[in-house]
């Protein structure tokens, strides 16, 4: 809140909105909720709050059973990029690559209504510049405990993960079955954790 001219009430409402739902709020939506005239102060406030939330992630590592996969989120492009030919597939400028890691644990003595035998605990999501094995491995080495079990698909991006954790289970997963093999990772990507990846992660 240091140096901000926004009232404390705006800060507390923004904190509540950001933490009370699985879906994120854009700066435009927060601005509308607060009935504030200017966009820039609201964007700055959210940027500071998300930076503080990101610092918390640095204080712990994921452990146990972890589902890992990459997601592609729609993102805004610059005015200059609008007039350039757009790439197709993974290199598309309208998509930002995000590594998603979801930690889960087995449920003892109870059955979930959705039929899943596990429940999610913590997640980490990080924007990545590429899908190279070295890039993925360096992030996992930093954010995941060595005595963990990773569950992924059989992408070549994950071939070095067996060197940094106790167990790495790579499976050939048909598209129609990815939601059952990696249920929590899929939920995190589909939950709309961010509507504008650049706003959330950068």
118: pLDDT strictly greater than 70: no
pLDDT band at 185 (very low <50, low <70, confident <90, very high): low
CA distance 75 to 8: 30
Q: Is the model's pLDDT at 77 over the cut of 70?
A: no
> For the residues of 133-181, what is the DSSP string, one character each?
HHHHHHHHHHHEEEEEEEEEE--GGGTTGGGTSSEEEEE---GGGHHHH
Please give the torsion angle defined by the CA atoms of residues 176, 178, 184 and 187, in that order, rounded to the nearest 10 degrees: -40
> Do 184 and 104 touch, CB atoms closer than 8 A?
yes
Least confident of 65-79, 111-125, 127-141: 111-125
Strand order in the sheet with 167-171: 118-127, 95-106, 62-74, 144-153, 167-171
Which has more pLDDT, 98 or 86? 98
- Under 8 Å between Cβ of 69 and 152: yes
pLDDT band at 76 (very low <50, low <70, confident <90, very high): low
Q: How confident is the model at residue 199 (pLDDT cuts 50, 70, 90)?
A: very low
Give how far Cα 80 sits from Cα of 4, 84, 93, Å. Answer: 32, 7, 12
> Which of helix, strand or coil describes residue 47?
helix
Taking alpha carbons only, the member of 111, 106, 128 closest to residue 184 is 106
Look at 6-10, 67-71, 100-104, 188-192 and tell me which has the smallest mean pLDDT.
188-192
pLDDT at 11: 93
Q: Report the percentage of the chain scoring pLDDT > 90.
A: 26
């Amino acid at each position: 809140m240091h140096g901000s001219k926004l009232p404390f009430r705006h800060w507390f409402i923004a904190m509540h909105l950001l933490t009370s739902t699985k879906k994120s709020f854009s700066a435009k939506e927060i601005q509308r909720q607060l009935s504030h005239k200017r966009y820039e102060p609201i964007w700055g406030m959210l940027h500071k709050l998300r930076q503080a939330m990101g610092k918390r992630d640095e204080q712990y590592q994921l452990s146990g059973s972890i589902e890992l996969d990459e997601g592609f989120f729609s993102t805004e492009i610059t005015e200059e990029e609008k007039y350039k030919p757009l790439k197709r597939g993974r290199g598309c400028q309208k998509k930002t690559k995000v590594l998603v890691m979801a930690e889960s644990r087995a449920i003892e003595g109870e059955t979930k209504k959705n039929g899943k035998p596990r429940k999610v605990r913590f997640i980490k999501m990080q924007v990545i510049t590429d899908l190279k094995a070295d890039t993925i491995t360096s992030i996992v080495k930093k954010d995941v405990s060595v005595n963990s079990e990773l569950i992924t698909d059989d992408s070549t991006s994950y071939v070095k993960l067996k060197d940094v954790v106790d167990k790495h289970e790579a499976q050939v997963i048909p598209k129609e079955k990815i939601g059952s093999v990696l249920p929590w990772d899929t939920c995190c990507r589909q939950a709309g954790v961010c509507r504008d990846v650049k706003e959330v992660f950068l």
